[in-house]
Chain A
Amino acid sequence: MDIKVLRIAEFLEREKQMKVRELAEKSGFQVHADEIAFDKEIEGVFCGDLLSWVMGNCHESNAWITVQTHLNVVAVAALKEISCLIIVQDASIPQETLDKAKEEHIAVFETSMSAYEACVFCHEIGC
């Protein structure tokens, strides 16, 4: 394979959508998800804690990085068709939020990283 073909192959690999399952494998974050949730595709990342801001600005299939863990986060994620939630800085997640996320088939990741570190990490692994 010549160098040009290799580059195209690399480009295509990078452009390939990452699935929630791959994020789970690559990140090692603790995750709560079922098969439907794992199978969703991630297209970009959005970081924010103000729900209306997220509602108005994030895009469908984004992974959403936040410290908010209240039940309403799941309502926003479901309505905006967000691919998964990444809860940062070990923010404690109420069981009702996890139950609702399960019902809506939305994966919830937990990490001790800060929002900034999680953004950088997601960028590095190609989210």
Chain B
Amino acid sequence: MFEQRYAILREDYANAGKASSAIKSALKQLGIAPDILRRIAVACYEAEINLIIHSYGGEILMNIDEENSKVILSFNDTGPGIPDMEKALTPGFSTASATAREFGFGAGMGLPNIKRVSDEFDVVSSSEGTHLKIGFYV
């Protein structure tokens, strides 16, 4: 199984999108179809931004499950967790800081966008951390 790991730091706006770009490039080289690649890029960027804006930091793990022809992206952080998951999944709801909003984030479309473009979506959250796992059939 092909696997790559990327560390994401809290409020590291300057490097936002780097991991997503690297993942997109790696998958492009593996010959993933452009339309699937674009969906992966959208979801990955949104989730990467969520780690930067909302979490204490964490990592992105990319796996390619060749047996099931699937790309799996996992986003794991160390907290503080999502207090109200239902609200977090509601388009337009955001808890982004003023700084994040200044940069154009905080539209409240992060998780809804991720859910919409992914083929598999699973999120578990507690004060210990949030674990988001998304899959794409390729």
Q: Which listed residue, B13, B46, B102, B108, touches A55 by the CB 8 Å rule?
A: B46
A55-B46, A56-B116 in contact; A75/B17 too (CB < 8 A)? Answer: yes
How many interface residues does B have (CB within 8 Å)? 26
Q: Is B75 an interface residue (CB 8 A)?
A: no
Q: Is A79 an interface residue (CB 8 A)?
A: yes
Q: Is A112 an interface residue (CB 8 A)?
A: no
Q: Determine if B13 and A79 form an interchain contact, defined as CB atoms under 8 angstroms apart.
A: no
How many interface residues does A have (CB within 8 Å)? 21
From DSSP, what is the main secondary structure of chain A's interface residues? Answer: helix
CB-defined contacts of A53 to chain B, threshold 8 Å: 107, 109
> Which of A29-37, A66-74, A116-124 forms part of the interface with chain B?
A66-74
Tell me the complex Cα distance, A110–B38, Å.
27
A62-104 vs B, CB cutoff 8 Å, 1 = contact: the mask equals: 0000101011110110111100000000000000100000000
Q: List 28 A-B contacts (CB under 8 A).
A: A49-B104, A50-B106, A51-B49, A51-B104, A52-B105, A52-B109, A52-B110, A52-B113, A53-B107, A53-B109, A55-B109, A56-B109, A56-B112, A68-B104, A70-B103, A72-B16, A72-B17, A72-B49, A72-B105, A75-B16, A75-B18, A76-B17, A78-B21, A79-B21, A79-B24, A79-B42, A80-B41, A81-B38
Interface residues of B (CB under 8 A from A): 13-14, 16-18, 20-21, 24, 38, 41-42, 45-46, 49, 102-110, 112-113, 116
Closest 5 pairs between A and B when the two form their complex, measured CB to CB: A75-B17, A50-B107, A52-B109, A52-B107, A51-B104
